[in-house]
């Protein structure tokens, strides 16, 4: 069962392997260009495990930002992660000793796979989530470290390979779209974020989007409460 | 910090702050609603509908650095996204959809646009 579970987790993690090696590499190159050796890349990728957070972190380090600025900006950049835990309260129930690690490693990519993976009884959920999180973490550390060691010199152009993340999210959106009875939450999520991106700009749009999405979902509770997904809980 | 002069203790402090804040954001929902306690029905409701909205949000999030107003007007992204959607509706195989989309996108941004 463990072998099967690992194989399944590995297969599901392959799109993330491509994306994390590419994004991590970019981060390592950037960090190294500011004079930080690869040890710093290893340290940050192990302890933070956050894509956009680490990219912004390079600026904070290089510019000697204040502790307050660093804390507030990191909070704003990673605020979307609050929603992830919120919607995994049920799925991560009873995960025992690995639970803190699962929560620590709840990145965009791991979250998207966790909330879309359909697991049958031949798969141990606890082990699957653990393998998936640990594999993703390993890919990320590897990518970040390689970037800092190699320092931007590659024999081929990898421009565009980071589209793996976008493609993964699109695939998961399609999967959800095909399985959901009511498409309203998906439409609200995407449309609200587009509007907030236009109104607030690329640096500030996430928190307004989150607040509005939560508000809208409450507004449509009566309608959405009747859908199969919610009914199953009662 | 100029010319690679690194203030090691201060850099370590900033990394510790960033790691702590990131972990705090990820842990807070689980700390607010611990396993044993009965949680309000509305939290369960939001937890069920949120994943659909959040993935919509994430897809848009990926486009945040791009503009439809300046060249190449997001055309490579939209073409590759269309391919991913089409392939996935047709084959329902995540690996085929993702890797074909990436290959096509890399081709577009490196050779066409």
pLDDT at B59: 92
The closest alpha carbon to A210, from A230, A194, A189, belongs to A189
Question: Cβ contact (<8 Å) for B11 and A40?
Answer: yes
Q: What is the average pLDDT across A167-191?
A: 92
Question: Cβ contact (<8 Å) for B51 and A173?
Answer: no
Can you tell me the distance from the alpha carbon of B66 to that of B71, in angstroms, rounded to the nearest whole number? 10
Higher pLDDT, B42 or A234: B42
Question: Cα–Cα distances in Å, from A171 out to A112, B32, B70?
Answer: 10, 31, 27
Residue with tokens 């589209």: A163
Question: Cβ contact (<8 Å) for A48 and B64?
Answer: no
Residue A25 and residue A54 in contact, taking contact as beta carbons nearer than 8 Å: no
Average pLDDT, chain B: 90
Of A14, A67, A80, the CB nearest to B95: A14
Q: For residue B81, is it within any domain?
A: yes
Reported as a pLDDT band with limits 50, 70 and 90, residue B65 is confident
Distance from the A118 Cα atom to the nearest Cα atom in chain B, whole angstroms? 13
Question: Cβ contact (<8 Å) for B29 and A93?
Answer: no
Domain layout of chain A by residue ranges: 2-160, 180-234
Cβ contacts of B77 on chain A, cutoff 8 Å = 163, 166
The answer to whether residue B25 scores a pLDDT higher than 90 is yes
Average pLDDT, chain A: 91
pLDDT at A22: 87
Reported as a pLDDT band with limits 50, 70 and 90, residue B97 is very high
Question: Cβ contact (<8 Å) for B98 and A164?
Answer: yes
Q: For residue B68, is it within any domain?
A: yes
Can you tell me the distance from the alpha carbon of A34 to that of A199, in angstroms, rounded to the nearest whole number? 33
Higher pLDDT, A129 or B3: A129
Residue with tokens 């089409």: B86
Q: What is the average pLDDT across A12-38?
A: 91
Of B43, B57, B99, the CB nearest to A189: B57
A35 Cβ under 8 Å from any chain B Cβ: yes
Could you give the dihedral angle defined by the CA atoms of residues B61, B62, B68 and B70, in that order, rounded to the nearest 10 degrees?
A: 120
A23 Cβ under 8 Å from any chain B Cβ: no
Closest-CA residue of chain A to B95: A15
A118 Cβ under 8 Å from any chain B Cβ: no
pLDDT at B113: 85
* pLDDT tens profile A38-62: 999 999 999 999 988 999 899 899 9
Residue A81 and residue A87 in contact, taking contact as beta carbons nearer than 8 Å: no
Can you tell me the distance from the alpha carbon of B92 to that of A7, in angstroms, rounded to the nearest whole number? 19
Reported as a pLDDT band with limits 50, 70 and 90, residue A152 is low
Cβ contacts of B24 on chain A, cutoff 8 Å = 75
Question: Cβ contact (<8 Å) for B105 and A163?
Answer: yes
The answer to whether residue A230 scores a pLDDT higher than 70 is no
- Exposure on the CB side of residue A136, measured as CA atoms within 13 A: 30
Q: What is the average pLDDT across B35-43?
A: 84
Overall size of chain A counted in residues: 234
Cβ contacts of B108 on chain A, cutoff 8 Å = 160
How far is Cα of residue A156 from the mean position of the Cα atoms in its chain?
27
Question: Cβ contact (<8 Å) for A48 and B33?
Answer: no
Can you tell me the distance from the alpha carbon of A102 to that of A36, in angstroms, rounded to the nearest whole number? 29
* ipTM summary value: 0.89
* pLDDT tens profile A81-139: 999 998 999 899 999 999 999 999 999 999 999 988 989 988 999 999 999 999 999 99
Can you tell me the distance from the alpha carbon of A127 to that of A2, in angstroms, rounded to the nearest whole number? 7
Question: Cβ contact (<8 Å) for B80 and A187?
Answer: no
Can you tell me the distance from the alpha carbon of A81 to that of A207, in angstroms, rounded to the nearest whole number? 11
Question: Cα–Cα distances in Å, from A207 out to A74, A210, A232?
Answer: 12, 5, 30
Can you tell me the distance from the alpha carbon of A115 to that of A118, in angstroms, rounded to the nearest whole number? 9
C-beta neighbour count of B1 within 10 angstroms: 15
% of chain A beyond a pLDDT of 70: 96
% of chain A beyond a pLDDT of 90: 66
Question: Cβ contact (<8 Å) for A50 and B88?
Answer: no
Of B24, B45, B53, the CB nearest to A213: B53
The answer to whether residue B2 scores a pLDDT higher than 50 is no
Q: What are phi and psi of A26, to 5 degrees?
A: -60, -40
Residue A32 and residue A41 in contact, taking contact as beta carbons nearer than 8 Å: yes
The closest alpha carbon to A90, from B47, B51, B46, belongs to B47
Whether a cis peptide bond, with omega within 30° of 0, leads into B72 is: yes
CA B99, B101, B105, B108 torsion-angle sign: positive
A219 Cβ under 8 Å from any chain B Cβ: no
The closest alpha carbon to B102, from A16, A137, A13, A186, belongs to A16
Domain count, chain B: 1
Helix or strand (DSSP H, E) at A43: helix A38-47
- Three-state secondary-structure class, residue A27: helix
The answer to whether residue B45 scores a pLDDT higher than 60 is yes
Residue range(s) defining the domain that contains residue B30: 8-112
Closest-CA residue of chain A to B20: A48
Question: Cβ contact (<8 Å) for B46 and A36?
Answer: no
Question: Cβ contact (<8 Å) for A185 and B77?
Answer: no
Q: For residue B1, is it within any domain?
A: no
pLDDT at A33: 86
Can you tell me the distance from the alpha carbon of A29 to that of A162, in angstroms, rounded to the nearest whole number? 15
Closest-CA residue of chain A to B27: A103
pLDDT at A112: 93
Can you tell me the distance from the alpha carbon of A80 to that of B92, in angstroms, rounded to the nearest whole number? 28
């Amino acid at each position: 069962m463990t072998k099967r579970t690992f194989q399944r987790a590995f297969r599901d993690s392959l799109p993330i392997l491509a994306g994390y090696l590419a994004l991590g590499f970019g981060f390592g190159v950037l960090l190294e260009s500011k004079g930080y050796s690869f040890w710093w890349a290893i340290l940050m990728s192990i302890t933070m495990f956050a894509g956009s957070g680490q990219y912004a972190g390079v600026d904070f380090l290089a510019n000697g930002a204040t502790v307050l600025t660093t804390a507030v900006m990191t909070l704003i950049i990673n605020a979307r992660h609050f929603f992830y835990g919120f919607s995994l309260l049920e799925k991560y129930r009873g995960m025992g000793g690995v639970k803190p690690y699962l929560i620590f490693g709840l990145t965009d990519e791991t979250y998207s796979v966790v909330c879309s993976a359909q697991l049958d009884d031949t798969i141990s959920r606890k082990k699957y989530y653990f393998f998936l999180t640990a594999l993703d973490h390993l890919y990320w550390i590897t990518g970040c470290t390689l970037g800092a060691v190699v320092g931007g010199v590659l024999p081929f152009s990898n421009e565009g390979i980071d589209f793996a993340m976008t493609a993964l999210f699109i695939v998961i959106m399609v999967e959800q779209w095909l399985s959901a009875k009511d498409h309203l939450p998906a439409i609200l999520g995407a449309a609200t974020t587009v509007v907030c991106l236009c109104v607030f700009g690329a640096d500030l749009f996430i928190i307004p989007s989150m607040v509005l999405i939560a508000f809208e979902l409450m507004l449509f509770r009566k309608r959405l409460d009747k859908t199969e997904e919610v009914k199953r809980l009662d | 910090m100029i010319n690679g002069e690194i203030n090691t203790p201060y850099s370590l402090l900033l990394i510790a702050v960033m790691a702590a804040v990131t972990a705090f954001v990820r842990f807070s929902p689980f700390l607010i609603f611990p396993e044993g306690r009965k949680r309000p029905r509305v939290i369960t409701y939001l937890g069920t509908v949120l994943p659909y909205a959040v993935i919509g949000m994430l897809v848009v999030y990926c486009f945040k650095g791009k503009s439809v107003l300046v060249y190449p007007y997001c055309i490579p992204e939209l073409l590759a996204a269309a391919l991913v959607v089409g392939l996935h509706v047709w084959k329902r195989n995540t690996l085929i959809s993702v890797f074909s989309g990436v290959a096509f996108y890399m081709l577009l941004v490196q050779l066409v646009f």
